[in-house]
């Protein structure tokens, strides 16, 4: 039976993400489960998602990005129902339309900085064309890295493994932003930054997603960031969860962006 998704209210931007009657449970008796009755993300909107560790945020984001498939319900992204796609097709769709800043970065440790930023373009021809619209994709990678505060000498000469945690975080952000994906998902992207650098990083993240017309959904434990976002949600506002005997959810870190997870 088809799930009817709510239409946007009058005057509201069209939703590019819409979830309806989602139910997901990890395998095993009494395992963690998550249900979402209705969730929508309008184009260009910036959402901050807050929730404690183990509350289900990672599972929710993995469903949203197509890393996980629900047992029932509908996940409509840019008009495409991900629940009708196989795993390989979901991987390709995610690479093309999502920029993801993973909490653990998921960089290729011995790859160069630029190679890490360019990685998703290998799996996303549309993003590759957009990244190359004003020159080469490598030049666009350099522009993003410079905007994010990485010195040219680091970009030219260093491997990802040789960078500091804060520098790796910026490389991960550039990788997510290159090629102007329609949706950027950021899992605790400011956790390794001090307050001043955190504000500067968010300024750049908002500027780049705004220039690309991208929607942003960011996960954080830091509630002081809330005034900077269009909407603030707690996971409990949009989902019901059933943790197994108080144990946390499973982590679902994908592989380096664009690669099958």
User: Block means of pLDDT (10 residues each) for the chain, length 261 residues?
Assistant: 42 84 91 94 95 86 95 97 96 96 87 93 95 93 89 82 87 94 91 76 89 92 90 93 68 49 33
The pLDDT value given to residue 65: 95
Cα–Cα dist 261/93, whole Å:
12
The pLDDT value given to residue 23: 97
Where are the strands (E) in 172-258, listed by range?
A: 183-187, 215-220, 231-234, 240-242
The pLDDT value given to residue 8: 45
CATH topology for the 44-69+86-234 domain: Rossmann fold (3.40.50)
Q: Which of 30, 29, 8, 18 is nearest to 73 (CA)?
A: 18
The pLDDT value given to residue 154: 77
Buried b (16+ CB within 10 A) or exposed e, 188-221: bbbebbeeeebeebbebbeebbeebebbbbbbbe
C-alpha dihedral, 55 to 59 to 62 to 64, nearest 10°: -80
Question: Order of strands across the sheet with 231-234?
Answer: 98-101, 183-187, 215-220, 46-50, 231-234
């Amino acid at each position: 039976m088809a799930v009817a998704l709510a239409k946007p209210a009058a005057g509201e931007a069209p939703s590019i993400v819409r979830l309806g009657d989602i139910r997901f449970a990890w395998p095993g008796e009494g395992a963690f489960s998550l249900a979402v009755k209705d969730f929508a993300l309008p184009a260009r909107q910036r959402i901050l998602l807050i929730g404690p560790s183990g509350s289900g945020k990672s599972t929710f984001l993995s469903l949203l990005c197509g890393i996980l498939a629900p047992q029932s319900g509908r996940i409509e992204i840019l008009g495409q129902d991900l629940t009708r796609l196989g795993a390989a097709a979901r991987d390709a769709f995610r690479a093309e339309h999502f920029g993801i800043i993973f909490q653990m970065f998921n960089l290729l440790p011995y790859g160069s900085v630029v190679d890490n930023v360019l990685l998703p373009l290998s799996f996303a021809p549309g993003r590759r064309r957009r990244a190359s619209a004003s020159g080469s994709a490598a030049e666009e990678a350099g522009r993003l890295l410079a905007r994010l505060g990485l010195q040219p000498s680091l970009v030219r000469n260093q491997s990802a493994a040789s960078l500091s945690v804060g520098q790796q975080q910026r490389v991960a952000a550039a990788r997510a932003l290159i090629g102007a994906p329609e949706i950027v998902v950021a899992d605790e992207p400011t956790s390794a930054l001090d307050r001043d650098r955190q504000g500067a990083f968010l300024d750049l993240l908002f500027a780049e997603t705004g220039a690309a017309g991208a929607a942003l959904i960011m996960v954080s434990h830091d509630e002081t960031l809330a005034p900077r976002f269009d909407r603030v949600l707690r996971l409990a506002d949009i989902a019901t969860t059933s943790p197994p005997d108080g144990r946390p959810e499973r982590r679902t870190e994908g592989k380096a962006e664009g690669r099958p997870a």
